[in-house]
Amino acid sequence: MIQDFTGKTAVLTGAGSGFGLECARIGAARGMNLVLVDVQQDALDKAQAEMEAAGAQVLARKVDVADAAQMEQLAADVKARFGAPHFVFNNAGVGAGGLVWENTVADWEWVLGVDVWGVIHGVRLFTPMMLEAAAADPGWRGHITNTASMAGLLTPPNMGIYNAAKAAVVSLTETLYQDLNLVTDQIGASLLCPYFVPTGITSSERNRPNAPSNDQLTKSQLIGQAMSNKAVSSGKITAAEVAHKVFAAISDNQFYVFSHPKALGNVKSRMENIVSITNPADPFLERPEIGEKLRAQLRAP
């Protein structure tokens, strides 16, 4: 249980927009030291100015979380400035869709680089620092929050590359929770699984090196892009509301954090299929018109 955030240090990747930015705002309001990490310099500068104006001590770094050397330098900079962070939000994420066999090697490397390797680097570099701090002070408390997605618990079609990346984050974070429980009672972990929440995820290509143009995308990728844009932009739950849920989970040492708990019916039906050895159900069971429309679009000549 962590109640006092004042003077504590948080590392936040993807801090220039979405959940990362909203968590930083809560951290600033609670008197925390903030390490803001993003790959987009202008968004990072804007976030830094806002947090400093709110009175926070800020270390801002432009970092590609997929790059091991850049993340190692970040970890060294954090330790030199603030010591071991009390909180780590491995939040940076990008998205890509399309039929799973149509994704290029570059697509896979980009999405897995940010969404999976970014989390791996955050865990492997900051957890040892946190364990060292905990061993030196019985009163020290820390928490790691990794951002996955409901796509990591479901398998909606035409977005397999994203599903696979987020499923890896789910498994990694559940294992992190178990591993931490083996060695310490002072560091907790949480898994954030948002559904459709308006963030910058649908325009993540803006920061992709050598991003393909629309005329280089396949039919399924263009359809997936349009569906994702519509679903995310029409989301009723805000990133700020989700960020408050994340801080409540840290305070309560709650592992699973969902933006849309009502969507768990889809997860339950998937798990029941697995346990009963039944072929996967239609992931659009509750909204069959979505699957029908997608099928019609993809089968149209």
CATH number at residue 259: 3.40.50.720
Domain count, the chain: 1
Asked if pLDDT for residue 199 goes beyond 80, the answer is: no
Tell me, what's the pLDDT at 262?
Answer: 84
Mean pLDDT, rounded, for 262-279: 92
Would residue 247 count as lying in a domain?
A: yes
The Cα 218–Cα 224 span in angstroms is: 10
Would residue 2 count as lying in a domain?
A: no
Would residue 120 count as lying in a domain?
A: yes
Asked if pLDDT for residue 175 goes beyond 70, the answer is: yes
Tell me, what's the pLDDT at 289?
Answer: 85
Would residue 1 count as lying in a domain?
A: no
Instruction: Give 203 or 289, the one with higher predicted confidence.
Output: 289
Asked if pLDDT for residue 144 goes beyond 80, the answer is: yes
Would residue 3 count as lying in a domain?
A: no
Would residue 180 count as lying in a domain?
A: yes
Q: What is the pTM of this model?
A: 0.93
Asked if pLDDT for residue 201 goes beyond 80, the answer is: no
Grade residue 198 by pLDDT with cuts at 50, 70 and 90: low
The Cα 232–Cα 204 span in angstroms is: 13
Which residues have C-beta within 8 Å of that of residue 31, sequence separation ≥ 6? 5, 6, 7, 55, 56
Would residue 40 count as lying in a domain?
A: yes
Mean pLDDT, rounded, for 213-221: 84
| Beta-ladder partners of 61 | 37
Would residue 131 count as lying in a domain?
A: yes
Asked if pLDDT for residue 242 goes beyond 70, the answer is: yes
Query: 80-97: string of b/e by CB count within 10 Å (b at 16+)?
Result: eebebbbbbbbbbbbbbb
Asked if pLDDT for residue 234 goes beyond 90, the answer is: no
> Known catalytic residue: 177?
no
**71: closest CA among 30, 33, 114?**
114
Mean pLDDT across the chain:
92
Tell me, what's the pLDDT at 249?
Answer: 97
Q: Which residue range forms the structural domain that includes residue 247? A: 9-299
Which residues have C-beta within 8 Å of that of residue 65, sequence separation ≥ 6? 13, 14, 37, 39, 71, 90, 92, 114, 117, 118, 121, 122
* Residue from 162, 177, 195, 256 carrying the catalytic annotation: 162
Asked if pLDDT for residue 63 goes beyond 60, the answer is: yes
The Cα 241–Cα 162 span in angstroms is: 23
The Cα 57–Cα 34 span in angstroms is: 6
**191: closest CA among 141, 233, 149?**
149
Mean pLDDT, rounded, for 118-123: 98
Grade residue 136 by pLDDT with cuts at 50, 70 and 90: very high
Mean pLDDT, rounded, for 217-240: 80
Tell me, what's the pLDDT at 204?
Answer: 61
Query: 186-200: string of b/e by CB count within 10 Å (b at 16+)?
Result: bbbbbbbbbbbbebb
Count other C-beta atoms under 10 Å from residue 134's C-beta: 21
Grade residue 44 by pLDDT with cuts at 50, 70 and 90: very high
